[in-house]
A and B are shown apart, each in its own frame.
Chain A
Amino acid sequence: MRQEIVKAAPAYTEFHPRWYRAPVSVYWWLGQWRYLKFILRELSSLFVASFVVITLLQVRALRNGPEAYSRFQHWLQSPWMIALNLVSFLFVVFHTITWFNLAPRAMPIWVRGKRLPEFLVAAPNYAIWLVASVVIAWFVLR
């Protein structure tokens, strides 16, 4: 049984199909995790930008002398900044992982007429990421 029948307006005229176009909701991405995930990946660019801004501020503080730099350091230690950095870090990790998982699709590698399995393309990305992180950690923490 029809639950709802509304009389047509504007009227249907014979032989002229009147298509129904469903409006796309502004919140189309909220309903399903896979689309939310995509939006979060897009959103991660804002947090990458925040890292860039912080780095620029750091350069400015350096230029303005030791006093300015210690003020900058103090600012960085505020709970808000730690929270922001933590969130940014999580977003960047999220972006990296989702991107590495997509990478094999964007760059298929063919060896002797056979396409390499996806994990063989993704794995080196992860390996390089790990090595780079270790090297940077060594520089920073030594």
Chain B
Amino acid sequence: MDVSSHDVLLVGGGGAGLRAAIAAAEVNPQLSIAVVSKVYPMRSHTVSAEGGAAGVIKEDDSLDEHAYDSISGGDWLCDQDAVETFVKEAPQELLQLERWGCPWSREPNGHIAVRAFGGMKKRRTWFAADKTGFHMLHTLFQTSLRFDPITRYDEWFVTKLLVDEGRVQGVVAIELMSGRIQAITAKAVILCTGGCGRIFPFTTNANIKNGDGMALAYRAGAPLKDMEFVQYHPTGLPFTGILITEAARSEGGYMLNKDGYRYLQDYNLGKPQPKPVLRSMELGPRDRLSQAFVSEDQKGRTIQTPYGSIVHLDLRHLGEKVINTKLPFVRELCMKYQNIDPVKELIPVRPVVHYMMGGVSTDIDGATPLAGLYAAGEVACVSINGANRLGSNSLPECLVFGARAGKAAALFAAQQKVPNGSVLAQATDERKRLESQFLFKTGGRERISTIREGMQTTVEKCAGIYRDGASLAEGADTLRQLQERFADINLDDHNRTFNTELEAALELGFMLDVAESIVQCALHRTESRGAHQRTDFPARDDKRFLAHSIVHRNPDGSSRVELLPVKITRWAPGERVYGELSQTNEPPQAVLTRKAG
């Protein structure tokens, strides 16, 4: 078997991965760094982020306010030491990106411009027009080209982490171009593979977001954290999952059910007014809107389409002029990718999965409990997002914890011995597994797409916007059956060269494991908090659950959920105030008495 060796190995080449690679190269230019990515790095999903990146920069703002917004928005499930580190380093990282050429939008005097963003009480969101993630990713990618210690493995798909003597010592990967399966050993491995939105049927996430890194870590023995917290966005286009920004509603868009009725008035969200009113009707909090959709759907008042139930977002009354000047990007996305003109037509929308708060459990240096394994970005759970991520925190999270993980891994790698030969035997076994169970297997009866659709429907049904014990238990059973059916999978494609069907099968395997961890965590958390809403346990329960869910994989493939107390440094959970506000389920707006020190 072929082997190549590096000091630090990145799995994933998006925002976090490239930032980590550059950080490692800067810490120690002697190190050999590998970026292994299943797509060319500039294709990574960071590219799709539109809104912006939060970092305190203006004089009327403070780090404490950013921290507080994040912690309260996260329904007190954030680790506060991590949040404090995050808010402190975010502006530095964003500034560093400016130094590398990121075209941040500017004020007339040439300084960085910041804008307001949902959940952030001060203007602190840096943006590069409406393509922030795109510009950040391309800036990072182009900058990474000048670092010679960085070797890229573009379009290599990692199938397994190599673990020996309790330490991660590399990966097994398939070079898609040739089909070669080989070991790439390393003294430290950083997972930066992003989230897992594709487990769900309706998602804004790109096709590549299959929870690869989460499953790799989980199978290798590193626990996952807070997997039950999945963020929905109330208005995505069905089928494509393209996100229609909140701005469409704040400009005066109506949400209509199948009778053309503004149904939100039935959900304690105010009365319809001719002009949009902040925090009422269509401008109510995101989760309330998503929950109202579920209720309408149960009452049979949504519209049935081949892509599931939808409601309509109506912008027609705004007129072409307002839409063109205020919402040009919304119109462009609808017309270019969904063939709908919002000037003349109703936009079909529904809640779509947007972001995974949970992930591989790490400390504030990105280190997992498994020696030599690090994680950063959406794949990781540090946790700064708690039970609900605030918009514009995820891009700086990639940078801050990407850089921290890169540095920590570089320091760790410098102290390690070269990986030993026994991992190569594991790699050979892995190659045999891939060949016998997938590539050259014949006679299987299940199609990938059938099992994938089964998984998506199951997870949406049991671990969607609302959950309850009975449906979660049922979902867990169905997932187990799907796992069994997955063993009987059949591939049409037995070529080695660029076998995307093999890749899809392995991704499906990853997703099934991650789906199970989501359902198990959701079953275990018998309370409602942030994005996790249990109809059978509608209240927050700080007594038992001011804690992270830590899910381990047992040797037999089953899972075991434990609790790990949340780290509180300076901000005590605002129970009373939140209790009242939880009737509306929105992040607390009132500033709480802070516990100093």
Which residues from chain A sit less than 8 Å from chain B, CB to CB? Answer: 14-17
Contacts and interface: CB of A to CB of B under 8 A. Distances in A.
Interface in B479-519: 496-497
Interface in B169-224: 177-180
A110 to B, nearest CB: 17
A30 B580 CA distance: 74
Contacts of A17: 177-178, 497
Contacts of B180: 15
A25 to B, nearest CB: 26
Interface in B443-499: 496-497
Given A15-B180, A17-B178, A17-B497, 7 more contacts: A14-B179, A14-B496, A15-B178, A15-B179, A15-B496, A16-B178, A17-B177
A16 B179 CA distance: 9
B431 to A, nearest CB: 12
The 6 closest A-B pairs by CB, nearest first: A15-B180, A15-B178, A17-B178, A17-B177, A17-B497, A15-B179
A61 B180 CA distance: 75
Interface residues of B, number: 6
A17 B497 CA distance: 7
10 contacts: A14-B179, A14-B496, A15-B178, A15-B179, A15-B180, A15-B496, A16-B178, A17-B177, A17-B178, A17-B497
Contacts of A14: 179, 496
Contacts of B497: 17
Nearest to A12: B497
B495 to A, nearest CB: 10
Contacts of A16: 178
Decide if the interface of chain A is mainly helix, strand, loop or mixed.
loop
Nearest to B182: A15
Interface of B: 177-180, 496-497
A15 B178 CA distance: 5
A14 B497 CA distance: 9
A52 B179 CA distance: 61
Nearest to B181: A15
A57 B496 CA distance: 68
A35 B497 CA distance: 34
Contacts of B496: 14-15
A19 to B, nearest CB: 9
B408 to A, nearest CB: 35
Nearest to B179: A15
A17 B178 CA distance: 5
Contacts of A15: 178-180, 496
Contacts of B178: 15-17
B544 to A, nearest CB: 54
A89 B497 CA distance: 55
A17 B498 CA distance: 9
A15 B498 CA distance: 10
Nearest to A18: B497
B353 to A, nearest CB: 36
A15 B431 CA distance: 14
Nearest to A16: B178
A16 B175 CA distance: 11
Nearest to B178: A15
B267 to A, nearest CB: 47
Contacts of B177: 17
Nearest to A14: B496
A138 to B, nearest CB: 48
A17 B496 CA distance: 9
Nearest to B497: A17
A12 B470 CA distance: 55
A120 B178 CA distance: 52
A15 B497 CA distance: 8
Nearest to B176: A17
B355 to A, nearest CB: 36
A15 B499 CA distance: 12
A70 to B, nearest CB: 67
B286 to A, nearest CB: 37
A14 to B, nearest CB: 7
B457 to A, nearest CB: 32
A119 to B, nearest CB: 21
A15 to B, nearest CB: 4
A132 to B, nearest CB: 41
Nearest to B180: A15
A14 B179 CA distance: 8
A15 B176 CA distance: 10
Contacts of B179: 14-15
A16 B180 CA distance: 9
A78 to B, nearest CB: 57
Nearest to B2: A15
A17 B180 CA distance: 10
A126 to B, nearest CB: 30
A63 B490 CA distance: 88
B432 to A, nearest CB: 16
B40 to A, nearest CB: 16
Nearest to B177: A17
B435 to A, nearest CB: 12
B181 to A, nearest CB: 9
A46 to B, nearest CB: 42
A100 B177 CA distance: 45
B154 to A, nearest CB: 13
A18 to B, nearest CB: 8
A81 to B, nearest CB: 54
A15 B179 CA distance: 6
B146 to A, nearest CB: 28
A14 B178 CA distance: 8
A17 B499 CA distance: 12
A16 B177 CA distance: 9
Nearest to B495: A12
A114 to B, nearest CB: 14
A34 to B, nearest CB: 22
A15 B496 CA distance: 7
A93 B497 CA distance: 52
A16 B497 CA distance: 9
A80 B177 CA distance: 60
A112 to B, nearest CB: 13
A2 to B, nearest CB: 13
Nearest to B498: A17
B345 to A, nearest CB: 31
A15 B180 CA distance: 5
